Structure 1
Amino acid sequence: MLLVALTLTSLAVLLRIIANPLSNVFQKQLTQRSADPLFVIAATYGFLTLTCLAFWSQLQSANLPVAFWQSMLLVGLFALIGNVFLVKALQIGDLSVLGPINAYKSVVGMLVGIFLLNEIPSAVGVVGVVLIVVGSYIVLGNTQQRKGFSWGVFQRPEVRLRLAALLFSAIDGVLLKKAIVLSTPTTAFFYWCLFGFLFSLVWIGLTLRQQWQHQVRLLFSQRTTYLALFLTVGLTQIASNVALAGMQVGYALALFQTSALISVVFGYQFFRETNIIRKLIGATIMVVGAVLITVFQ
């Protein structure tokens, strides 16, 4: 039983659950120190691309089908937009709220997966996703006004940015799964980094021409935090690729949401965010949903 639990896919999911909230902490810390979200993402892509080049001989790059390149170009674009929206949301919002909001990604991923990958979820899988969404309602409740979830919460700019980020990243996840099926998790990881970096350079050239020198200086002055970010983002993405290769997109995205508990704890530990008990209760309901998905997949 233990050997079954400790599969490569399971370990990848566990690594992703831990690494992703940590990367969010470093992203929020950098934006609090005047780092531009776009530059943060571009620097991350650039460092990971250079790291991958050291292992170029081990990467599969020949005889890849046209469908792979089409998927990866879209993945690079959608991942870049989603990540910039995410870091911008973290810049102005609470990690303990924005982390759990990501639960909606599993719903989007499952719906898109049905149409693009013909991945049909089981009834229990759907129940698990519903529990994840219900848990997010509790996280978003307003205790100061003695109210639960309200649709007015979507008027908050950080929530809108986070929802936009998860929409792009959920579609990105489905397309990435398609690219992984046509290649390998490591090959898809390299081109995820490369295309994301190229697209971000174009975006920087259009919008940050007057700021890039200041941002480079900030990178060197905050090099420890940047290096920690590069490491955690790299671990998050390669673990995501391995997990996507081993399970359906909707289920993988749902399991990733168990990192909501860690996001709530990190929000309190690093940024002294409030209403932690309520957020932990909501995040725990989300974890229960993810366990249902895992056990009855």
Structure 2
Amino acid sequence: MTDLWVALSLFSAFSLATSDALTKRALNKENEYIIAWLRLFCALPFLVLLLVFSPFPDPDSTFYIACFIGIPLEILALIWYVKALRLSPMSLTLPFLALTPAFIMITGWVMMDEVVSLRGGVGVILIALGGYLLNISDPRKGVLHPFRSIITDRGIRYMIGVSLIYSFTSVIGKIAILHSSPLFFSGAYFVGVTLCFSPVILLQSRKIRKDIRQDIKRSVLPGIFYAMMIISHVFAITMTKVAYMIALKRTSFLMGAVYGFLFFREKNVTYRLTGAVVMFLGFLLIVLK
């Protein structure tokens, strides 16, 4: 069982990183709302199939309450994520997305009584730290430059909010899964997220609707990998503590850095190697605990 959740978590990370890279390569749009929505929309057919063909688990009231709380939070996180990218450089905002596993050690304990071991907790912190270092694209300004900018930079504050929201929705998602089933949750929850996020897109200008029609075919492959990320995520998270699973899933930052070097000629590879080593040490502490 241990090997299975590790494999599923890493596959989820790989699928997410691949979806991100394919999205960046295929779309290259300035409107992040379109990018976020198209990937969800193109994953939708696969998730609907799960909903239709998976056994109906007769979910209880806890499942519906979890979805009722979780779906609006997911939409808010998407909107804040887009705002963060629009207001601030990625080098300042993305490092804070790596903090989610550290926050989950608190939310998982409060909401589900999940307590990580000392060794596992250190592993989670190291993965968060490694992910933070991986996402700093301008090391000349110093490792703490994003933190020094929190007070003056609204985009950073939005991204911290996103990281906090994900620390809640990850736990809420597990609660919903335990009160239904992984496949049913994958379909119902993310269909709900996509449908609720659609008005945000469709109420935009006509130009945005035109862009959607032009780019929808190129979004199919990123959508397939995004659907695979969701499916592997929901199974992995039921097999271990949320903090451990999300920490391993954040190795998508490492995989994304490899894609960035291979396909987008991104720089600072030597500096990011430090983050990769720190992240790998955290991975070993969690997996070998």
The two structures share one fold, judged by TM-score above 0.5 = yes
Aligned equivalent of 2:159: 162
Written as runs of structure 1 = structure 2, the 5 A alignment for 1:64-83 is 64-83=59-78
In structure 2, relative to structure 1, the CA distance for the partners of 1:33 and 1:130 (3 Å cut) is: closer
Q: Secondary structure at the match of 2:258?
A: helix
- Tell me, yes or no, if the aligned pair for 1:137 and 1:149 is still in contact at 8 Å: no
CA distance in 1, matches of 2:249, 2:6: 11
- Tell me, yes or no, if the aligned pair for 2:46 and 2:227 is still in contact at 8 Å: no
1:183 aligned to 2:177?
no
Aligned equivalent of 2:125: 130
> Could you tell me how far 1:141 is from its partner in structure 2?
8.2
Identical-pair percentage? 20
> Could you tell me how far 1:133 is from its partner in structure 2?
3.6
1:108 aligned to 2:103?
yes
Aligned equivalent of 1:143: 139
In structure 2, relative to structure 1, the CA distance for the partners of 1:84 and 1:24 (3 Å cut) is: farther
> Could you tell me how far 1:241 is from its partner in structure 2?
0.5
1:295 aligned to 2:288?
yes
- Tell me, yes or no, if the aligned pair for 1:28 and 1:90 is still in contact at 8 Å: no
CA distance in 2, matches of 1:173, 1:256: 12
CA distance in 2, matches of 1:60, 1:43: 28
> Could you tell me how far 1:124 is from its partner in structure 2?
0.5
Deviations 1:165-196 (A, max 9, x none): 22222211100000111111111111122210
Aligned equivalent of 2:257: 264
Aligned equivalent of 1:10: 6
Aligned equivalent of 1:118: 113
Aligned equivalent of 1:219: 212
In structure 2, relative to structure 1, the CA distance for the partners of 1:87 and 1:15 (3 Å cut) is: farther
TM-score (structure 2 length as normaliser): 0.85
- Tell me, yes or no, if the aligned pair for 1:129 and 1:254 is still in contact at 8 Å: yes
Q: Secondary structure at the match of 2:140?
A: coil
Unaligned runs of 5+ in 1: none
1:23 aligned to 2:23?
no
TM-score (structure 1 length as normaliser): 0.83
1:236 aligned to 2:232?
no
Deviations 1:185-209 (A, max 9, x none): 11111112221022213434xxx52
CA distance in 2, matches of 1:88, 1:271: 24
CA distance in 2, matches of 1:221, 1:137: 35
Match for 1:44: what amino acid? R
CA distance in 2, matches of 1:162, 1:28: 20
In structure 2, relative to structure 1, the CA distance for the partners of 1:144 and 1:187 (3 Å cut) is: same
CA distance in 1, matches of 2:2, 2:208: 44
Q: How many pairs does the alignment contain?
A: 285
Aligned equivalent of 1:197: 194
> Could you tell me how far 1:224 is from its partner in structure 2?
4.3
Q: CA RMSD of the aligned region, Å? A: 2.8
CA distance in 1, matches of 2:84, 2:255: 18
Unaligned runs of 5+ in 2: none
Which of 264-273 and 189-198 deviates more? 264-273
1:38 aligned to 2:33?
yes
CA distance in 2, matches of 1:30, 1:163: 28
Q: Secondary structure at the match of 1:131?
A: helix
> Could you tell me how far 1:274 is from its partner in structure 2?
2.6
CA distance in 1, matches of 2:75, 2:178: 21
- Tell me, yes or no, if the aligned pair for 2:95 and 2:132 is still in contact at 8 Å: no
